[in-house]
Structure 1
Amino acid sequence: MLTHTPTPLVTGARSRARDAGRAAALLVWIASRPRTGHRLTAFFATLYYAGLRPEEAVALRVEDAVLPSTGWGELRVHTAAPEVGKQWTDDGEVHETRDLKGRASGDTRTVPAHPALASILHTLVAQDQLTAGDLFFPGEKGGLLAGSVYRRAWDKARTAVLTEREYSSPVGKRVYDLRHTCLTTWLNHGIPPAQVAEWAGNSVPVLLSTYARCITGQTVELQQRIEGPQKLPDAPLVPGPRGSLSPPLPRAPGRAR
């Protein structure tokens, strides 16, 4: 369940190009950081391009991805590792491995990997010499990537890249907003809500109740879709009974006026 209103980086049709440039600038800045910058960039790109939740991305392993050298790839999401605190886990770890939110135990969700994301992950595998069972985004000391690490990196990037006014705004303030940006982009470009819900791991009612106000720029296209089907025959409308407008009724054959 969301505890805040989605504030994606992409906030409207007019600002999409600008906001895409802003997102790119944030990822480029993170990529320039020493040691783990390339890995964190790939982590954030997975949220931005594939709409994974952060807890799903940290649990993603190389064997869960199909990554061609070019074109679209595929991510098979079947595990989430949210942070619950050491006191709430049996083994004293910060993360707890769980099945996917809203899914049956052992269920898998297949998500398309945008060509740009497939290329980023393909490069990461080669650069870090990852094998099938390895995590894509391990922490510096191994194990799962800590939320404090990626949240701190995201905040530093926003501080470095954004203006003071942009930094103070809620747009893109949370790492989770990268997922919101992805889902909003899919919806705004005509992907059916049922398909978006399947990729995102939401139900359709939850998806629409959460993102309905984020959908923009489709009014003209939707009007064009219904303009023809709702159009009446070209016959002129004439006043009907009690002043209503209705098409003239055809006369029965052979009847006089």
Structure 2
Amino acid sequence: MGRTDPRGSRPEVGAGWTDAGKSYEVRGLKRRARKTTRPVPIPPVLVQLLRRHLDVYGTAPDGRLFRAVRGGRVRSTEYTEVWQEARREALPAAEVHTPLAEVPYAARHAGISLWIKAGVDPVEVARRAGHSIAVLWKFYAKLLRGQQHRANQLIDDALNL
């Protein structure tokens, strides 16, 4: 299992909303001290993809993994265009015009849902996602409920060791 350690974020908010007049703000991680990192485990298949990307493209001078054609930041409009094209390529034609994976953030939600469905302890899911348990329950309760059969099997397996 690999790991990445995000140190901060650079959300695009629009130049009118920042003190510096830039279209983005450099921020720390949500609900964390300014210089704190958050270790995030990443599966081997993603590690391989990232290494291949780095071998081919390297990083931007400031360390960013992805950059626009001329080396600058990938703006949300450009990212959205690429996302929509990827949806057209990846989804069956009948699902392209549905809300399925409509925005890039849906991939985060899908990943967290996958971890829960795979049986990862909810405390660990919350930690990896950067959520509190309360937030995890609020937004993912429908996935966390209804697992009685699985829970019974886990308990039975533990008792039969």
Task: Flag whether TM exceeds 0.5 (same fold).
Answer: yes
Q: Which residue of 2 aligns with 1:202?
A: 131
> Structure 2, unaligned stretches of length 5 or more?
none
- Which residue of 142, 149, 154 corresponds with 1:213? 142
Question: Which one has more relative contact order, counting CA pairs under 8 Å at least 6 apart?
Answer: 1
Structure number with bigger Rg: 1
Counterpart for residue 145 of structure 1 = 74
* 1:1-257 alignment, distance < 5 Å: 72-130=1-59, 133-215=62-144, 218-225=147-154
AA aligned opposite 1:92: G
Asked if the contact 1:158/1:167 (under 8 Å) is kept, the reply is yes
Return the offset for 1:132.
8.4
- 1:195 is displaced (CA, Å) by 1.1
Distance 1:208 1:221 in 2: 18
CA distance in 1, matches of 2:40, 2:73: 21
Given that 2:116 and 2:125 are in contact with CA atoms closer than 8 Å, whether structure 1 keeps it comes out as yes
Q: Is the 8 A contact 1:125 1:131 kept in 2?
A: no
Shift of 1:163: 3.6
Q: 1:215, CA displacement in angstroms? A: 4.2
CA contact (8 A) 1:188 1:217 kept: no
Letter in 1 for 2:106: D
Deviates more, 1:138-147 or 1:170-179: 138-147
Q: Distance in 2 between matches of 1:193 and 1:132?
A: 38
Extract structure 1 runs of 4+ deviating beyond 6 A.
none
The alignment covers a number of residue pairs equal to 158
Check whether the contact 1:82–1:95 (CA below 8 A) recurs between aligned residues: yes
Alpha-carbon distance between aligned partners in 1 of 2:100 and 2:148, rounded to the nearest angstrom: 24
Aligned mates of 2:108, 2:154 — CA distance in 1: 29
CA deviations 1:36-94 (Å, max 9, x no partner) are xxxxxxxxxxxxxxxxxxxxxxxxxxxxxxxxxxxx21100121111110112233321
How has the CA–CA distance of structure 1 residues 140 and 89 changed in structure 2, closer, same or farther, with 3 Å as cutoff? farther
Cα distance, 1:104 vs. partner?
2.1
How far is the alpha carbon of 1:98 from its aligned partner? 0.6
Task: Give the deviation of 1:130 after TM superposition.
Answer: 3.5
Query: Kindly tell me: are residues 131 and 95 of structure 1, through their superposed partners in 2, closer, same or farther at Cα, counting changes over 3 Å?
Result: closer
Unaligned ranges ≥5, structure 1: 1-71, 230-257
What is the TM-score of this pair, normalised by structure 1? 0.56
What is the Cα-based RMSD across aligned positions, in Å?
A: 2.4
